[in-house]
Structure 1
Amino acid sequence: MLTLKQIRENKAFTLERLAVKGVDAAEAVEKIERLDDERKSIQGQLDELLAQQNAVAKEVGMLFKQGRREEAEAAKGKTAALKEASRELDEKLRKAEAELNAVIVTLPNFPCKDVPHGRTAADNVIVRTGGKNPELENALPHWELARKYDIIDFELGVKLTGAGFPVYKGQGSALQRALISFFLDCNTAAGYTEIMPPLMVNEASGYGTGQLPDKEGQMYHVGVDNFYLIPTAEVPVTNIFRDVILDESDFPVKMTAYTPCFRREAGSYGKDVRGLNRLHQFDKVEIVQIAHPDKSYEALEGMIAHVESIVQKLELPYRILRLCGGDMSFTSAITYDFEVYSAAQGRWLEVSSVSNFESFQANRLKLRYRDARKKTQLAHTLNGSSLALPRIVAALLENNQTPEGIRIPAALVPYTRFEMIR
């Protein structure tokens, strides 16, 4: 979350930056200023009472030493009254701090200076493209190819659970497993440590990375235990460092994880959610970095180049977009999306987002490091999909269809152990 210092030291900058994300924060910022002033006033009163308590306690001790018992007992009565007043003020202070925090957490992260202005995906900026769009005649969409080759059963998923929970079969299952192993091997070869985290997290973890409060109702909640099914491996992996103080020599921290991901995708409908285009349960391999603030944008460029290299190995046509302010996530300072071209659907499919959150998540996580002066500072966090499987699979099936079957890219053959889906 944003810090009070960020909000209060330059109100005009705060309003201008949040406006880039399409947020009118004037009312919230005014409320934050008022609540912070109230909090400071209560804290001042409490500090004064505590000082009086200390003074009276010293007085009581001195009076007892001097044998002035009656005066000492009278002074002790003052201490009791001061303690009660302090308790009431302390409770009032906690409520004021909670109310202040509740407003601050509603404000999204500042977009960095390189984020383009805009409201929708139409305002995103194409950074670069790669590969060549295939030219196919009578191309079938992946949901028809899945039925033709009996590799993904969407109807059976509806029977077992509901829409958005497909069942992979035969070579379809093998392709999923191959992609997961391929992505993890690419990531570990690039210096990322593999993690196998839990698939459910507690409330503190969801709060730490910014998924909670869940304003859009996207997380699956296990009510009895108050756990949440993870929407991405970013949540448990980044939270490994919640309440941790690193040394500068620890940077960069690089981690990767494969997990199933669970998202309610409330409000999704229409042709864009057909087949694998938008699921409630899907597989994804994630990369996470914790970086020194002076090096986080260098780390971001490295992550973008790494994801790009994997897409290139899959022989998929792609483009990289820098998202505009209105299309960015709540927590991100800057985001680059990777899209691959779907020949049968005739459109671009998002397969990865690579983001720098700067200190926004770290402030929630209390993730800090000791600098050269031994002072603690907030670290920067970054993450990226490397990669999300559903639309990668959709593009691979659609773009590589031939009269003989579906061709497997050469880089994947050692993992699938077959060259064609037939």
Structure 2
Amino acid sequence: MDNNLEREYTKLEEKLGFYFGRLISYPLVPPEHVYFSLTTRCNLRCQMCDIFKSPTKIEDELSTPEIKDIILQIKNMRVRHLIFSGGEPLLRRDFFEIVEFATTNSIRDVDIITNGTLFDDYIIKKLLNLRLNHITISLDGLRETNDKIRGKGVFEKVVSNIDKLKHYKSKYGFSFPTLGINFTILDDNIDDLLPMIEFARGSGLNAILLQPVLFSNIKMYEKKRNVLWPSENSIFKLKKTTKKIISLKNTLKDFVICTDTDILKALSGYFMGKRPKINFGCYEAIKRIAINSEGKLWSCMGVYGDLKKKSLKENWCSSEAEKIRNEVKKCSEHCLQDCVYSSSDILYHVEKVLERLDRKVGLRNKEIEEKLLERVKHYIDILNEKYAYQRPLTNIRFKRELKKLYLIRDRLKKNQQN
């Protein structure tokens, strides 16, 4: 079996694990990402961010040895993607030591999220030598708009630093890290959405992520008192703009718009306080772990672990984590953050992979299929065990989900017999 197909099988196994792990509120596979906030300190005062108002004291932040120990725990949990953020992570004096430790300890993809203002030639060269996978730089519009949101002179400084990064990447022959922009959608910058996509692409960047500003969403819409929340006129413009963005997302070959199409479609409704009509299931505390600068595991539903008291795996598999996952499933907030996931993709993805296998009979890998079949049988056993303790009303859902697993199992068995 070719490498691409093998990777698809791995993704398929993960998707099944996430899907049914969410159903039983217990992780069946390692998380996809770990977001690690190294500090709450920041050198900017962005309009939509209040992290600088209550920064963690330096003495309360995790020490370098503590962070290194956590990185090793992340590695041992077989997490492949680690994202360092802040605050502004470069404000930590040990930043390079920490990131280098992560990249040299077999964590496959290590990214950083930064405001991009603290770069100089020395820092850029050090960043390139860290073997990072991706650098995300926050920009919220073109010059005038961005500087209104992030501070005077920030746009010019960041763009200059991006140019330096690209220059040194080219000069020393680095293909990585890839470079992208994180854009927070506010009332002030909706007119800049399309121009920023073109700017990023024209500047030789690789990607852009568009995220709506996060408040207590429907409450914010009802109160209509915050200048950051889009007005009705802005929402009308956004609806038109997102159609064009979706078209670009589907046609651009040399640039990635990372935001999911379903999220783009739901943006205008989100800002109007409407629940998305799409089949979203939130995978917070299943697909990702978020660690703050004090070593606490946290989610939108609250803190559920402390790495100064228990190991990462103990916290991740704890009863406190299970409570958080149950709360997440009951959540009624109007949320469109990137931890949501369209659950309807599961069976489609299964069928897609298996159909490709049917077309490549000579390249099929029976060992991998058998492994996946055993995993599916394992999930069936777990669901049957959980099913026995569910209330009658909930049993209907479990029966439906079990039926999906039986279909996958039977398809895999058929493949084994061919």
When normalised by structure 2's length, the TM-score is 0.23
Rg larger in structure: 1
Greater relative contact order, per chain length (Cα 8 Å cut-off, separation 6+): 1
Q: Which has the higher strand share?
A: 1
Q: Which has the higher helix share?
A: 2
